[in-house]
Structure 1
Amino acid sequence: MRILVVGAGAVGGYFGARLAQAGRNVDFLVRPARADLLREHGLRVRDLDGTVETVPVTAVTADTLTPGYDLVILAVKSYGFDAALKDTAPAVGPGTAVLPLLNGMRHMDALIDRFGADRVYGGVAMVQTRLGEDGEIVEVGELARLIYGPVSDTPVLPLEEVHAALDTGTFSATAATDAVQELWDKWVFLATMGACNCLMRAPIGRINSTEGGRDFSRAVFEEAAAVAAASGHPVPPRARERADRMLGDTTSQTTTSLYWDLTHDNPVEADHIIGDLVARGRALGVATPLFALADLHLRVYETGRT
């Protein structure tokens, strides 16, 4: 199976490197400067103990992209999604499946509109990595898991084949029977954590250990859960219990990449993770005042960066 990984950042770089190490036929679609770096130095992954692995990879750019891929894994930040979708389109043939590893649901709507539901998979990536200053992938935690499944009953590429390609033993790989629900479950959790971190400018443990903090984090979660329920994807008990445990922790130093970007003067995925949740709530008549405040906070931040 020919696999194209779009993006070689913290998510795409990590999972793509692990697939390449397992002998999968993987190309990376990246910008010219990143392509030159990968061709010269390979893709470097720094693990938790500081050891750096160098993985030889094949890098391609949009102007050299050709058809013939079986699976396209989209792993870009949401603010780069539109450009990535345009660059990727030539690689998506009649029998190509597209597996995005973005958060939220806006990208799913766009991919289904562009390619049709039978060529789109839902994908959830859970990995604790960051992109280092010199382009290496830096592990900051042990979590590395992919969950994926088709959104159509008649996918052009069967789930068994996708699972066989991704289940390499180098990370946790799970074939899902309801990938859309998995996406909603992660979105509710991630948006809640991100909104809490960004509004309070603190890890979740510090928020919850302060008087009134747990009431706040619980209220943020319930807003997101209400939007999910009104959209036809209520948070199931198991996911709710897991979220309650993690979002209610009083000692955890957990934050999100949204918070990391906010506190490091980087562009943020505000529209995709927070803004779209507010917009869907508004359209469905679900009040989200705390998320609306987080959305405003992040938009003011973005205005200050321009």
Structure 2
Amino acid sequence: MKIAIVGAGAIGGYFGGVLARSGAEVSLLARGPHLQAIQARGLRVQTADGEDFTVHPKASDDPAALGRQDVLIISVKAPALPALAPQLAPMLGPDTAIVTAMNGIPYWYFHAYAGPVAGRHLKTVDPDGAIWRALPPERVIGGVVRLPSSVPEPGVIRGLTRANLALGEPDGTQSPRLASISQALMAAGINAPMRSDIRHDIWVKLLGNMAFSPCSVLTGGTQAQVAADPAMRAVLTALMREGQSVGEGLGIRFEVSVEQRVTEGGGVALHKPSMLQDWEAGRPMEIESIIGAVAELAAMQGIATPTIAIVLALLRRKAALQQA
């Protein structure tokens, strides 16, 4: 199986490293000093179990140089995908599968969807449909990542826990391609369960991200610091309750209470959400896929989300000032 990692940073680089070590034919699409270090010295991976190894997969910033693949695992930040997606054409063969291992609501959300507001298009995530056209949703297998990791220096990936990548077909079927990709990931040491409702997994992760990430950016605090402030805890709770209402309107059922989610999120000591890390590094933040899309889905259903509207307005203005 030829597997290409599109965006070989903290998440994608970890996946690529352990897959290459397991014997898969791996290619990495990367850029800048990180790519240069991989090409010069290989990709070094440090796992939570204390393993430290180096692999030498093919790496380039040119999709054409990597050629056609059986599977693309896309782990770039959401703001980069609209411009990048059309460039991936040389990597797509007739049967290439695309795994979206990204944060937030994905562009393909309403593909093979029979629930409320079916057939809609998410303008916050894919404004002009460029991603949908370049990466047809029929190719997609949804993915939900849970992997705290970092790039301490170019060419080095450090994982803090075992990697988890839940996988699911948008139509809920247990397809042969889903099984083969799950098996390849499991053989590499990645927990890759097959889900019959991947949208549920998306929302379970999103509910925490859409509350903690914006509040961490707006305050500069870690998750624990934000949750420890009673006033901010009230904001987190309001955000999650509104987000839960939007998800429930789309048929999602949440087993854990909002109060428990806030407590659990605040229990992650010293953790900075990736959105805050992006803000501090001057990188574009995943505002639209994580919270903008929730506001759009709320508007589709006629659900009032006043707290989300205020926080989203503040976050968008902060991002605009950063880029000015």
C-alpha contact (below 8 Å) 1:149/1:179 kept by paired residues: yes
1:31-64 Cα offsets, whole Å, 9 max, x none, are: 3765443221111224459875322111132232
The alpha carbon displacement at 1:216 in A equals 2.3
2: CA distance between counterparts of 1:204 and 1:164?
34
The alpha carbon displacement at 1:116 in A equals 4.2
Larger relative CO (CA 8 A, sep 6+): 1 or 2?
2
C-alpha contact (below 8 Å) 1:11/1:75 kept by paired residues: yes
Aligned counterpart, 1:64: 65
Give the alignment of 1:1-306 within 5 angstroms. Answer: 1-31=1-31, 34-47=34-47, 52-60=52-60, 61-67=62-68, 69-109=69-109, 114-139=134-159, 141-152=160-171, 158-230=177-249, 232-238=250-256, 243-247=261-265, 249=267, 252-306=269-323
Q: Which segments of structure 1 move beyond 6 Å, counting only runs of 4 or more?
A: none
Q: Any gaps of 5 or more consecutive residues in structure 1?
A: none
1:98-121 Cα offsets, whole Å, 9 max, x none, are: 101111224325665545443210
TM-score by length of 1: 0.87
- Root-mean-square deviation (CA, aligned residues, Å) is 2.7
1:274-296 Cα offsets, whole Å, 9 max, x none, are: 22222222232222232223322
TM-score by length of 2: 0.82
The alpha carbon displacement at 1:153 in A equals 5.6
Percent identity for Structure 1 against Structure 2? 27
Code of the residue aligned with 2:86 in structure 1: it is K
Code of the residue aligned with 1:43 in structure 2: it is L
1:216-239 Cα offsets, whole Å, 9 max, x none, are: 221111111112122x14242158
C-alpha contact (below 8 Å) 1:13/1:137 kept by paired residues: yes
The alpha carbon displacement at 1:154 in A equals 6.5
SS across alignment from 1:172: coil
2: CA distance between counterparts of 1:176 and 1:239?
22
2: CA distance between counterparts of 1:114 and 1:172?
29
1:231-285 Cα offsets, whole Å, 9 max, x none, are: x142421586863541354x74333100122233332111221222222222322
> Number of paired residues?
302
Q: Any gaps of 5 or more consecutive residues in structure 2?
A: 110-125
